[in-house]
Chain A
Amino acid sequence: MALRHLLTKNTLATQPLGILGFRRVQTFSLPDLPYDYGALEPAISGEIMQLHHQKHHQTYITNYNKALEQLDDAMTKGDASTVVKLQSAIKFNGGGHVNHSIFWKNLAPIREGGGEPPKGSLGWAIDNNFGSLEALIQKMNADGAALQGSGWVWLGVDKELNSLVVETTGNQDPLVTKGPSLVPLLGIDVWEHAYYLQYKNVRPDYLKNIWKVMNWKYASEVYAKEFPES
């Protein structure tokens, strides 16, 4: 049997597997924001960005790491019911980590191109699928406002059909839960923690303003990677 080495920056307690050596679980850490907390003002306040990043996202990562460790333990022991029981914690917290990692890249300060509409192949695809950029924004805002409870509204691309889609997911479900071939281009967090301190109950205002700091460059890059221009 081969030795398994999973090297990681933050190692958890190791479990010796007899003569086969150590087994380590890959852990995750909070990615840095590519801009200062206050850089997205006035669209999103620095207070929200700091809490959102340092508290909410960090908590998802902490709990995800914990769940992974428990999962590893249960798998090693062949404890099937614990493995299954952990799936919701992994979905919640892992999904939270995945989604927020994308979200920080979806946003950019205005002086770094935030809000600049997409050009090139993505711009063309948006016009093709939705009629216009305004129509897309209107749809995402309507769907985001109508979402009950906590969740996300996404612009995604269907890898297989090369079509753009607008989808919502509940809680921290990643976009892929709506379709295995869906790739997220932009996600807007509509959990109340994403806007409450600034916009209170007026989620539609948050949705209107977030487009001023939307990082279309990132979305275009992801799209171009899936469909390189010939």
Chain B
Amino acid sequence: MVVANATTGIASPLKCALSLSQGFQGSTRRLQWRKNERQCVRKAGQGVITAKFDLKPPPYPLDALEPHMSRETFEYHWGKHHRTYVDNLNKQIAGTELDGMTLEDIVVVTYNKGDLLPPFNNAAQVWNHDFFWESMKPSGGGKPAGELLDLINRDFGSFEEFVKEFKTAAATQFGSGWAWLVYKANRLEVGNAENPLPSDEDKKLVVVKSPNAVNPLVWDYFPLLTVDVWEHAYYLDYQNRRPDYLSIFMEKLVSWEAVSSRLDSAKARATEREREEERKKNEEEENGTANSEAVEMYLESDDAVSD
């Protein structure tokens, strides 16, 4: 959630540039990210719009998922870890170009095609944890229904097969990270490749896993469900027994309502995106501004020129 505080006066445009320099400390490669402080300093009295992210509470009391996920876990996981990501993110973006952007946009921009900028870890982890709390509910688990179940059956063979694949991904994400169910709409595995003949069959549910703070937004997928497999997520309740944690998560905690509603909005956004791309393509054709083809010269007579 973004809270904007506007002080009196007219807001002057933010001209903060992100200046990056890569420095070497010893033999460890570090990205040194300097805020262009001079351009970002605001004198008193001038209008400033600042945006700050809040620590959103889970949509249930901290003890509501007992005994499967303890209150104590929430006190640390939400109260300390998540809170620290929020606080540090706000500090990092204050007075910069990122200030005022949506959280999702900050995540994608600072992912920087894999060459992570410093705010990425905090931004992505804020987003990931918001998404994670909302993926669970008291008396959760069970099976999905309706269109979600149909798609799961279609894309995984059966609900049981999906559960197996999801738990395997989560169990084999080495080190820290997340496992996801995502809706993949016409996006190929390679970042800059375009699907030449998109069809409805390309839109499917897929299980993916990601390390540390990475999430599927950076791959242009629509996340539907996640489980946190950083050790801090389960260590107090399950110690090293990650597979037990994952089984309980699936059987007792998943909020299929949340997943279904995310699927609905994912499909709507995918359709909207298709329409937008179609519209842009048509516009380009009409204006004759093809990307890689030679520019066609039009005669004043408006007659269509055909090859």
Chain A: residues with CB nearer than 8 A to chain B? 51, 55-56, 59, 88, 92, 143, 148-151, 165-168, 170-172, 178-179, 191-193, 196-197, 200-201
Contacts and interface: CB of A to CB of B under 8 A. Distances in A.
Interface of B: 26-28, 76, 80-81, 84, 121, 174-177, 211-213, 230-232, 235-236, 239-240
A201 B239 contact: no
A179 B236 CA distance: 36
A88 B173 CA distance: 12
B176 A149 contact: yes
Contacts of B81: 201
6 contacts: A148-B212, A166-B28, A171-B174, A192-B176, A196-B231, A197-B235
Nearest 8 CB-CB pairings of A with B: A192-B231, A149-B176, A150-B175, A149-B212, A171-B175, A55-B240, A201-B80, A196-B235
Contacts of A55: 239-240
Contact of A178 (B27, B174, B212): B27
A200 B176 contact: no
Given A192-B231, A201-B80, A201-B84, A170 B236 contact: no
Contact of B121 (A148, A165, A193): A148
Contacts of B174: 88, 92, 171-172
A143 B231 contact: no
A196 B236 contact: yes
Given A51-B240, A201-B81, A191 B27 contact: no
Nearest to A201: B80
A193 B80 contact: no
B175 A170 contact: yes
B62 to A, nearest CB: 15
A166 B232 contact: no
Contact of A168 (B28, B80, B213, B230): B28
Contact of A193 (B26, B84, B212, B235): B235
Contact of B76 (A150, A151, A179, A200): A200
A196 B234 CA distance: 10
Contacts of B230: 149, 192
B116 to A, nearest CB: 9
A201 B235 CA distance: 11
B270 to A, nearest CB: 31
A25 B171 CA distance: 27
